[in-house]
Amino acid sequence: MFVLMPELYDPLTGPAPTEVPLTSAPLVNVIAQVRFPKVLGIEDRDAAARFQSLVKDHYPVLREEKSQGVVFGGGASRSLREETTWRFSDLPQDWRLSLAPGFLALDTSRYQSRTDFLERWFAALSALQSQFGPRLVDRFGIRYVDRIVGDAVAEINRMVRPELSGLIGTPVGAHATHALTEAMFTVGGAELRARWALLPAGATHDPGALQPIPQVSWVLDLDMFTTTAVPFRVQGVMAEAERFAERIYAFFRWAVTDDFLRRYGGSP
C-alpha cells in the first residue's frame, strides 16, 4: 500500500495515494466538461429526444434553456443568435447533464466515488458519440470544489498544510475577511489550477461553480484541463478523465491533513 509522506511527496508527479472514503465529505461540486466544435444538430428537438432516450434512466427531468450568443460576420458586422442548452437531471436535482452545440458537461453535488462519477461520464460520452459524433475535442477538464463551513473554518491551520493556510495561519489572519490564492501548474501536457480562499458570507470566487451561502467558508477548488485539440474518441477522453481525477485527488491528499480526513469521516 502506498503511504503518503507529505514532506517528501510531489502530488504532481508522485504515485497516486489510496483513496480514503469520507462519510461526510465537504465536496460540494464535481464537474466534467468536454468542448468541441459546434454541432448545430444538437439543437434539433428530434435529435435531442434520441439523446434523451439514452440517458433518461439516470436523468429523467429535461429542461430547455435559451441563451444569446454573438455571431461575427465579415468586417465589423455582428449579430445575436439564440442557442439551446438541454439540461437533464435526476429528480432530486443532485446530478445534471448539460448538452449544448459546443459542449457536454456532467456535474453533481452528491458525489459518491470516482468510480461512480466516471461510469456516469462514460455513459454520457457514449450517448454523445452515438447521436452526434463530434470529430474533435477542443477542451476537456475535471473540477472538484470543496467548501468548509462552521467551526472547521476556525481550525483551518490544523486541517490543511501551512502552504495553503498562508496568511490565515498567522496572527494577522484573525482580521482577514476575504483571502484568495491561485496557482497554476503544468502537469503532463495539461494544466492544474488550484485555488483556495476564505470567503465572507454571501460571497463566491466563481458563481458558475460555487453558489454563495449565508456564512463564512473556506474553499479548495482544483481544476485540471487541457486545451490541446485531439480527435474525439470516448476512450481517449475517459483516459484523460481518469488521469485528471487521480492527479486532483493526489493534490487534495497532499493539501489536507489527517485532522481533515478524520473530521469528515475518514480513517487515515
**pLDDT greater than 50 at residue 1:** no
- Report the DSSP beta bridge partners of residue 82: 68
1 occurs within a structural domain: no
Residue 94 lies in a domain: yes
- Rounded Cα–Cα distance for residues 263 and 268 (Å): 11
Which CA distances in Å does 175 have to 90, 102, 198? 42, 44, 12
* 9 belongs to a structural domain: no
pLDDT tens-digit map of 217-234 = 999 999 999 999 999 999
CB atoms within 10 A of CB 72: 9
Q: Considering the entire predicted model, what is its pTM?
A: 0.92
- The residue-averaged pLDDT of 24-41 equals 97
Reported as a single tens digit per residue, the pLDDT across 133-176 is 999 999 999 999 999 999 999 999 999 999 998 888 788 878 88
pLDDT higher than threshold 60 for residue 70: no
The total number of structural domains that make up the chain? 1
Give the domain extent around 35. Answer: 27-263
Tell me the three-class secondary structure of 14-34, residue by residue. CCCCCCCCCCCCCEEEEEEEE
Whether 21 maps to a domain, the answer reads: no
Which position has the grid cell 489527517?
258
Q: How confident is the model at residue 256 (pLDDT cuts 50, 70, 90)?
A: very high
What is the reported pLDDT for 164? Answer: 92
Closest CA to 123 of 144, 143, 95: 95
Q: Is residue 233 part of a domain?
A: yes
User: Cα–Cα distance between 87 and 235 in angstroms, integer?
Assistant: 24
Q: Tell me, what's the pLDDT at 72?
A: 46
